[in-house]
Amino acid sequence: MTTRRTFLWIWIACFAALAWGQMEAQTARITGVVIDAANEEPLIGASAYIEQLKRGEVAGRNGDFTLDGLRAGSYTVRFDYMGYESRTEQITLREGETRRLKVRLKGESKSLGEVIVTAKSEARQLREQAMPVTVLSADQLAGSVSDVSDILSKTMGVTLRSQGGVGSVSRLSVRGLEGKRIGFFIDESPMNDHSDFIDINDIPVSMIERIEIYKGVVPAKFGGSAMGGAINIVLKEYPPRYLDLSYAIESFNTHKATAIVKRNLANAGLEIGGGGFYTYSDNDYTMESPYQKGLLIKRDHDRFSSAAGAIGIKARKWYFDEQKINFEGLINSKQIQGVYYNIQHAHSRSKIGVMELELKKKNFLVEGLDLDFKGASAFSRYHFIDTAMHRYDWDMKPYIPVHPLGGEIGAAPSNSTLDKFHFGTKLNLNYILSARNAINLNLLQRYANGHPKDTLRDRAMGYKMNYDSRMNSLVVGLSYDYKSNNDRLLNSLTGKYYFYSMKTILREVYGGHDEIPIHLEKHYWGISDALRYRFMPEWMGKFSVAYEVRTPTENELIGDGYLLSPSGDLRPERGVNVNLGTLWDRRIPNGIFQLEVNLFGNYLRDMIRQTQNYTQTRYENFGEMRTLGVEAEVKADVLPWLYGYANVTFQDLRDVREYEPDSKAPNPTRHLRMPNIPYFLANAGLEYHRENLFGTKRTNMRLFADASFVEEYFYDFEQSIHQERRIPRSMRLDLGLEYSLMDGRIILSGKVGNATGAKLFSEFNYPQPGRTYSLRLRYVLK
């Protein structure tokens, strides 16, 4: 079955490439670099603009640019960079031709007084805003064979831990705050409520333009609620005509395929695009049991497969500047791998379908008012099957199930289905009052209706376990942005209003098993302020403080219909975040040099965590926690062909509850470090890059090495020096190579993960795969 699926995807990719051939033959492109005429340094952020088409491109980290999707004909291309004289080139292209340029710009001889103006890339503009943010640009992601989690885990203050191989449960942490406290966005659309269907690693790196990591303060324009941080993945805006195919083979029989296609129907004023991915893995690595010393376990029940597809239609000629409608679908299947018990039958299947509408218009109704509206509806189904009539030990000796009716997990069997209907809208209005003042209004509304059904579990327990649930939420954010005349001072002041309602029935687990109706409505307020002050052109300081509220997610309130029961009585998390930092960003002869240092703190109330009862798990409010920490990072183009980075993070999270939950009994873990969260981590890496190595033409090579270190930490409170529940110190080294030909049309890449074969462990001391290998082939037609 796996082989047939793999070959099917290969045939689809080949067919798409052949079908594209006729269209591609009609297109041409212009590519090249923009450099300083005096010293031939790349001019990062220089613009290349085609006069006849009224469109352009910004030069990347090496001064490179590409203008593609062009028809045969003559064009006037203008090159600009602030502080330099403009230059124009008259270019005539034939069908299918690629013209490569090396453009030298001369510095302007005229004086602009004392003002120094520099063109900046979008990623740099984001880094220099008032909020603490780290930006991973397309240049840093290009050609990577890593997953998104590998890239994020090399970032200052960020960890992403999984319980196994491909498709396993993963937890994102920003400055120690993790899970659903951290907002997960795709193109500024909140995805936290769908994170049980869409994992952050499901998004192919080749589809990503940049990754924005916000710390402490989450922009109001994102909407939603988060506590101390957010990840926003910005997908690429592809040229009018585009085809991108990739296929990767990795260890443990892992296969990953992606395909993206876009076509511009100029006569109709439409752009049509589509894409998809397929992932399969056996995840059959061998691990040592964390609970029984010397026991080696072959992961023989951890197969995972996932497939997704999307098609979108974009129009630009009607009333709105941009109208887009998307249809998306995803299905996956996963076996449940046992670590403590040998699970051989339990598995899950899920699927989700989404329809989205997006409208954008500048100067909407009045001059200076920009509109951005998104609406989406979705249906999801999650199916969990745990009906085995035998369980097995690690020697495959059978014994009785958890219940006379069967089951391997928990206290009762399950054959559950959870259907959810989702609906959400997001409205963002940005009004520019003047060159120095702007206000932004954002409204995010979400509704979910869950219908769980599990007659087998109900029969095993003797009473109904799960009930229909409805939840509704609204978050309104209003922000005011101020910028001084000389761009020295930026300030963003934001207020937020939070509302959510919940209606369901909870079942008492102990005693009389009474039904408890839940019908609640909650209202909360939040406020934040972020300030940036530029001491010198290359040196700035940042300060932010926020009182944030995170309302419970659908999954936390409604449950999953089998192992996770509804928690309709949850209170939202509330906390104060403070950040004080400095950023030094200057040009050096070889490129850039950046140094960033941040001090941060957090005080969290009503922290939500998952707890276990007799038959199911549920979310409960835990209490109070405080965080103090420091992080620092340096990045530099050490030589024209060598880039390096290093960062370190110390984050001290402590339990500060005075009493045990719902009692006056003293808390024995007060002031102890929070378990299962690393407190000291560091990363470093080097990248060697060269164009046209060994006399070749139109080629580029990147060779990189990344190292990660995590100090020993505990997965339970350390109440004794003899505490054995500890996760040992680890060091991981990844090596990779990327080689591109034909100006990036063909890209070959490979990676050795955990090259030293070190023993690695994740949360709760779960063993991770050893040394892994990856190979990827990517073909791009522009």
Tell me the CA distances in angstroms from 782 to 26, 108, 332, 702, one per residue in order: 11, 34, 31, 22
In the listed set 234, 260, 283, which residue is the last one of a domain according to the structure?
A: 234
Per-residue tokens: 669: 């873990």
Residue 116 lies in a domain: no
Please tell me which residue, 428 or 553, carries the higher pLDDT value.
Answer: 428
Tens digits of residue pLDDT in 281-332: 999 998 888 777 788 888 899 999 999 999 999 887 778 888 999 999 999 9
Whether the pLDDT of residue 734 is over 80: the answer is: yes
Whether the pLDDT of residue 122 is over 60: the answer is: no
Q: What average pLDDT does the chain have?
A: 82
- For position 605, which CATH number holds? 2.40.170.20
- φ/ψ of 188, rounded to 5, equals 70, 10
Residue 111 lies in a domain: no
Together in a domain, 326 and 475:
yes
Tens digits of residue pLDDT in 250-259: 999 999 999 9
Contact 540, 533 (CB under 8 A): yes
Residue 700: predicted pLDDT:
87
Neighbours of 211 (CB within 10 A): 24
Distance CA 322, CA 635 (A): 37
Tens digits of residue pLDDT in 586-611: 888 877 889 999 999 999 988 887 76
In the listed set 234, 269, 300, which residue is the last one of a domain according to the structure?
A: 234
Residue 69: predicted pLDDT:
74
Together in a domain, 138 and 12:
no
Of 195, 241, 213, 199, whose CA–CA distance to 95 is shortest? 241
Distance CA 495, CA 476 (A): 8
User: At 4, is the pLDDT very low, low, confident or very high (cuts 50, 70, 90)?
Assistant: very low
Tens digits of residue pLDDT in 163-188: 778 887 777 788 888 777 788 888 87
Distance CA 161, CA 168 (A): 10
In the listed set 184, 211, 234, which residue is the last one of a domain according to the structure?
A: 234
User: Which stretch of 72-76, 117-121, 124-128, 620-624 has the lowest confidence by average pLDDT?
Assistant: 117-121
Handedness of CA 403, 405, 408, 413 (dihedral sign): negative
Of 229, 227, 222, 226, whose CA–CA distance to 174 is shortest? 229
User: Which stretch of 15-29, 88-102, 485-499 has the lowest confidence by average pLDDT?
Assistant: 15-29
Please tell me which residue, 416 or 138, carries the higher pLDDT value.
Answer: 416
Distance CA 24, CA 495 (A): 50
Whether the pLDDT of residue 135 is over 50: the answer is: yes
Residue 112 lies in a domain: no
* Structural domain total, the chain: 3
Mean pLDDT computed over 461-478: 88
Distance CA 314, CA 376 (A): 16
Whether the pLDDT of residue 573 is over 90: the answer is: no
Mean pLDDT computed over 631-659: 91
Whether the pLDDT of residue 360 is over 80: the answer is: yes
Residue 512: predicted pLDDT:
63
Distance CA 450, CA 556 (A): 12
Tens digits of residue pLDDT in 210-260: 888 888 777 777 776 777 788 888 887 777 778 889 999 999 999 999 999
Together in a domain, 412 and 457:
yes
Together in a domain, 532 and 584:
yes
Mean pLDDT computed over 364-377: 91
Distance CA 362, CA 538 (A): 32
3-state secondary structure of 266: helix
User: At 652, is the pLDDT very low, low, confident or very high (cuts 50, 70, 90)?
Assistant: very high
Together in a domain, 495 and 547:
yes
Tell me the CA distances in angstroms from 170 to 178, 304, 595, one per residue in order: 10, 14, 30
Together in a domain, 56 and 146:
no
Per-residue tokens: 247: 């296929």
User: At 693, is the pLDDT very low, low, confident or very high (cuts 50, 70, 90)?
Assistant: confident
Contact 95, 26 (CB under 8 A): yes
Residue 236: predicted pLDDT:
77
Whether the pLDDT of residue 107 is over 80: the answer is: no
**What does the DSSP 8-state code read for residue 156?**
T
Contact 440, 429 (CB under 8 A): yes
User: At 677, is the pLDDT very low, low, confident or very high (cuts 50, 70, 90)?
Assistant: confident
Tell me the CA distances in angstroms from 101 to 38, 39, 279, one per residue in order: 17, 17, 39
Tens digits of residue pLDDT in 402-453: 999 999 988 889 999 999 999 999 999 999 888 788 999 999 998 999 899 9
Residue 228 lies in a domain: yes
User: At 112, is the pLDDT very low, low, confident or very high (cuts 50, 70, 90)?
Assistant: very low
Distance CA 265, CA 675 (A): 56
DSSP E strands in 362-464: the ranges are: 369-386, 391-392, 398-399, 414-432, 437-453
User: At 558, is the pLDDT very low, low, confident or very high (cuts 50, 70, 90)?
Assistant: low
Tens digits of residue pLDDT in 342-355: 999 999 999 999 99
Residue 130: predicted pLDDT:
62
- For position 18, which CATH number holds? 2.60.40.10
Per-residue tokens: 557: 């309130």
User: At 16, is the pLDDT very low, low, confident or very high (cuts 50, 70, 90)?
Assistant: very low
Mean pLDDT computed over 356-370: 90
Give the CA count within 13 Å in the CB-facing half-sphere of 761.
23
| pTM across the whole model | 0.78
Residue 680 lies in a domain: yes
Provide the pairing of β-strand 98-105 with 27-36: parallel
Residue 379: predicted pLDDT:
94
Residue 343: predicted pLDDT:
92
Together in a domain, 626 and 772:
yes
For residue 28, the enclosing domain spans: 2-105
Residue 532 lies in a domain: yes
Residue 332 lies in a domain: yes
Please tell me which residue, 151 or 736, carries the higher pLDDT value.
Answer: 736
* Torsion angle defined by CA atoms of residues 612, 613, 615 and 619, in that order, rounded to the nearest 10 degrees: -60
Residue 110 lies in a domain: no
The type of residue at 113 is G
Tens digits of residue pLDDT in 494-536: 999 999 888 888 776 655 667 888 888 889 899 999 999 989 8
Cβ contacts of residue 694 below 8 Å, gap of 6+? none
Together in a domain, 545 and 581:
yes
Together in a domain, 253 and 229:
no
Together in a domain, 561 and 521:
yes
Together in a domain, 242 and 223:
no
**What does the DSSP 8-state code read for residue 459?**
H
Mean pLDDT computed over 649-674: 88
Together in a domain, 224 and 248:
no
Return the ∠ at Cα 677 (arms to 650 and 189), rounded to 5°. Answer: 95
- For position 186, which CATH number holds? 2.170.130.10
3-state secondary structure of 488: coil
The residue assigned the tokens 């109330």 is 605
